[in-house]
Amino acid sequence: MDVADLDTMLAVADGLPEATRNLLMTAAAADPEDLPVFLGSLTEEELATWAPAERAGLLRLDGTAGTPLLWSSPDLPAALYERAPFVDRRRGHLALAAAHRAHAAHRTDRQAWHLAAATLGPDEVAAAALERTAEDARAHGGWAASSRLLERAASLTPDPTDAADRLMHAMRAAMYAGDAQRVAWLGDRALALTDDPRLTLEAGLATGWTMSKTTRHEDAVRLLTSVAARAAGGGDLDVAYGALAPAAVAAYYAGDPVLTAEVAAALALVPAPAPLRPGRSPLDRSPGLAHHLWLSVALDPVRHAAWVREVLAAVGHPLELDHVTLNMLGGAAWMADRTTEAVAMLRAFRDQHQRLATSGANPLATGTLGAALRDAGAWAEAEAILEETAVEAEARGADVVRRNALIDLAHLVALRGDTARARDLAGTALAGIDPGTSRSVGAFARQALGVAALSDGDHERAHDVLRFLVDDKGDPAHPHAALFGLVDLVTSSLRTGRYEEAADVADRFRDSLRDGGSARLRTLSEHATALVVAASPGSGNEAEIHFERALSDPDGDARPVERARVLLDLGAWLRRRRRVQEARPHLTAAAETFERLGARPFAERAATELRAAGVTARSDPAPATLDGLSPQQREIVLLAARGLTNKEIGERLYLSPRTVSSHLYRVFPLLGVTSRAQLRDVVPPR
């Protein structure tokens, strides 16, 4: 706002009664999670003390709004706080600490934070209290709060070595919160205080972890594997595993077998987990199992998919696990194509975080959940989460995570038929990146662009994009990520008269799974082979064998689009062979799935095949209305329909972008829509 206007507000505040000024100072010292506790602690008489500030137009108290205190300018509280003398700021922080101490929830982290803010100079007693509170927050998944508390504790710590140690713990908490910028900053601050070898090692971990969120894959792997080797040699498995996890992620992004081998060699220095045996959960008998499982499947998803399946079956009730283990097992399940388990565990991980105002965000975990939900057909939820992930990742300096979220979102909207948006999202994700260096990013982006072209019916354009999923030798351009787009490459090759190329791709796809592979990848391989055989003259009914194999996975319904595409291609093949009666149920099932999900291009193709098979297409459902939504949900829908982002909606309604996205993905099914673009169709004209 205009500086003169802010100065006017400050002058008005100076003229208020002392008791009102004290309340203003306390509110200015508060974070959003403090305000409800503080305001709820006030008596009727104290609440009346706000009236002069309300009448002066500085703020408004409103129990029905998203926040109970609405400032007339978002700049006012910071201005009040910055110009106040320490004695006034101290009084405000002590009042907030007292409110938290008396509150039923007793947020000890907030109480300790405000007590520390009321302290001048080094104070080991206050620092130790903050550290204890940070440990409690960390135990309950409050990684962001733990990091902030430890950082503040370090600033109050008299001994430089102890301060550096607390900064390193703050750095580790920031890693779990997914905040790359804070990780690097905290690591640098710690190194400036000490030359302790262990802390220096952890600083290397911080630097490498931050690199792993960018496109510096080779640098990240080299630094992190060095840290892991030194840590393992010294028996510090916590640091070793902490370094190996981002190293494996960076190696996967690169898709470079040399880097993958380097991470595998470093992993071999860590003791292997105990073999699976009947009885207690394997996680109890082998504490390093979750780490080893995730690392192994990230380095070689094809080879280790079966091991993931065995461990998940033996664990029993994974949703009761701690945050870290949930995250690792959920990621392993995703890499091994255990879609249902991945969604369940990563959703539980995210839900536990959302219940805590102190947890921060973990863009890598939420982005993985968004991709899993897309494959599972929960598109409204997936879209909201992927949009949120892209924003969070950009804010936290996780560049590759942001790119992946945009690509996964591009794939989703391409399936819906919003191909212009898909190309825009994929183009943004690819801007300034070398797909030959970040091979997984390039592979997933090309699949999204290929699906967009197939949705448009432009098979030549699809082939132009998808042909880069294989290298000059004809092998997959990425040993894992490229495999998911090979059915699309085979489809576009056949539709453009490139039969020999399609056959070679299908053969190499099958060869890439000779060491194992998930049931999902084997299904995709059989689908690709079925398409090639179906296009071969004189193949008889051999294609049917491969189609049936592609439908044989009992968990195939966990990925409804992939299952429906097999049904559609099988139905079309049967119809062309004049087996119309057999084709109809397959085509009907495919059409119903595409219609339910909102996959318009595929639904239209299925409808065309059904008409050719003598089945009349169903009439469109009745349009949805906004009846039954809460006033807040209705307002969110109206703003989203006007094109506002989650962040813009949140600023208007005093909600977090995460809360807005949560409301939207719950509302979409009620309105019968699957995307934000469709909201315009259900919102009445003004």
Q: For residue 126, give both structure tokens.
A: 């206050």
- Of all helices (H) and strands (E), which one includes residue 69? strand 69-71
One-letter amino acid of 55: R
Q: How much is the pLDDT for 618?
A: 56
**Average per-residue pLDDT in the chain?**
87
Q: Is there a contact between 252 and 259 (Cβ–Cβ < 8 Å)?
A: no
On the question of pLDDT at 94 being above 80, the answer is yes
- CA 595, 599, 602 angle in degrees (round to 5)? 90
Which residue(s) pair with 60 in the sheet?
Answer: 70
Q: How much is the pLDDT for 619?
A: 44
Q: How much is the pLDDT for 442?
A: 96
Q: What are the DSSP calls for 286-310, one per residue? A: -TTHHHHHHHHHHH-HHHHHHHHHH
Q: What is the mean pLDDT of residues 19-26?
A: 93
Give domain limits for the chain. 282-360, 631-682
* b/e 151-168 (16+ beta carbons within 10 angstroms → b): bbbbbbbeeeebbbbbbb
Nearest to 205 by CA among 231, 178, 177, 167: 231
Q: How much is the pLDDT for 553?
A: 93
Q: In this structure, what DSSP letter does residue 456 have?
A: T
Q: Is there a contact between 464 and 452 (Cβ–Cβ < 8 Å)?
A: no
Q: Is there a contact between 428 and 390 (Cβ–Cβ < 8 Å)?
A: no
On the question of pLDDT at 280 being above 80, the answer is no
**What is the reported pTM?**
0.73
End-to-end CA distance of the chain: 30
Q: How much is the pLDDT for 634?
A: 80
CB atoms within 10 A of CB 581: 11
| Residue 635: φ, ψ to 5° | -65, -40
Q: Is there a contact between 253 and 403 (Cβ–Cβ < 8 Å)?
A: no
Q: What is the mean pLDDT of residues 325-347?
A: 93
- The residues, any chain, with a CB within 8 Å of residue 153's CB and separated by 6 or more, are 116, 126, 127, 128, 130, 131, 134, 166
Q: What is the mean pLDDT of residues 542-557?
A: 94
Q: How much is the pLDDT for 4?
A: 52
Cα dihedral 396, 401, 406, 410 in deg (nearest 10) = -160
Q: Distances from the Cα of 506 to the Cαs of 455, 533, 574, in angstroms?
A: 22, 10, 21
Q: How much is the pLDDT for 464?
A: 96
Q: Is 272 helix (H, G, I), strand (E, B) or coil?
A: coil
Q: Is 61 helix (H, G, I), strand (E, B) or coil?
A: strand
Report how far residue 84's alpha carbon sits from residue 119's, in angstroms, rounded to the nearest whole number.
16
Look at phi and psi of residue 622 and say left if phi exceeds 0, alpha if psi is from -120 to 50, else beta.
beta
Confidence of residue 172 (pLDDT cuts 50, 70, 90): confident
Nearest to 636 by CA among 604, 592, 683: 683
Report how far residue 221's alpha carbon sits from residue 259's, in angstroms, rounded to the nearest whole number.
7
Q: What are the DSSP calls for 386-408, one per residue? A: HHHHHHHHHHTT-HHHHHHHHHH
Q: Is 660 helix (H, G, I), strand (E, B) or coil?
A: helix
- Of all helices (H) and strands (E), which one includes residue 371? helix 363-376
Report how far residue 540's alpha carbon sits from residue 263's, in angstroms, rounded to the nearest whole number.
47
Q: In 103-123, where does DSSP find H-type helix?
A: 108-117
Q: In this structure, what DSSP letter does residue 59 have?
A: E
Sign of torsion over alpha carbons 338, 341, 344, 345: negative
Q: Is there a contact between 448 and 411 (Cβ–Cβ < 8 Å)?
A: yes
Q: Is there a contact between 433 and 469 (Cβ–Cβ < 8 Å)?
A: no
Confidence of residue 623 (pLDDT cuts 50, 70, 90): very low
Q: What is the mean pLDDT of residues 168-189?
A: 80
Look at phi and psi of residue 609 and say left if phi exceeds 0, alpha if psi is from -120 to 50, else beta.
alpha
Q: Is there a contact between 613 and 571 (Cβ–Cβ < 8 Å)?
A: yes
Residue at token pair 């489809």: 491
Q: How much is the pLDDT for 349?
A: 85
Question: How many Å separate Cα 647 from the centre of its chain?
Answer: 17
CATH of 631-682, picked from 1.10.10.10, 3.30.420.40, 2.40.10.350, 3.40.50.720, is: 1.10.10.10
- Of all helices (H) and strands (E), which one includes residue 283? helix 282-285
Q: Is 545 helix (H, G, I), strand (E, B) or coil?
A: helix
Q: Is there a contact between 340 and 377 (Cβ–Cβ < 8 Å)?
A: no
pLDDT over 70 percentage in the chain:
92
Q: How much is the pLDDT for 617?
A: 58
Q: If 0-12 CB within 10 Å is exposed, 13-18 middle and 19+ buried, where does residue 169 land?
A: buried
Sign of torsion over alpha carbons 415, 416, 419, 424: negative
Q: What size, in residues, is the chain?
A: 686
Q: How much is the pLDDT for 621?
A: 44
Read off the pLDDT of residues 515-536 as tens digits, 9 standing for 90 and up: 899 999 999 999 999 999 999 9
- The residues, any chain, with a CB within 8 Å of residue 448's CB and separated by 6 or more, are 407, 408, 410, 411, 414, 422, 425, 426
Read off the pLDDT of residues 568-579 as tens digits, 9 standing for 90 and up: 999 999 999 999
- The residues, any chain, with a CB within 8 Å of residue 248's CB and separated by 6 or more, are 263, 294, 295, 298, 299
Q: How much is the pLDDT for 568?
A: 97
Cα dihedral 204, 205, 207, 208 in deg (nearest 10) = 110
Q: How much is the pLDDT for 141?
A: 62
Which of 271-275, 465-469, 554-558, 582-586 shows the lowest per-residue confidence on average (mean pLDDT)?
A: 271-275
Q: Judging by DSSP bridges, how do beta strands 59-61 and 69-71 pair with one another?
A: antiparallel
Nearest to 309 by CA among 350, 339, 343: 339
Q: What is the mean pLDDT of residues 170-174?
A: 84
Read off the pLDDT of residues 409-434 as tens digits, 9 standing for 90 and up: 999 999 999 999 999 999 999 999 99
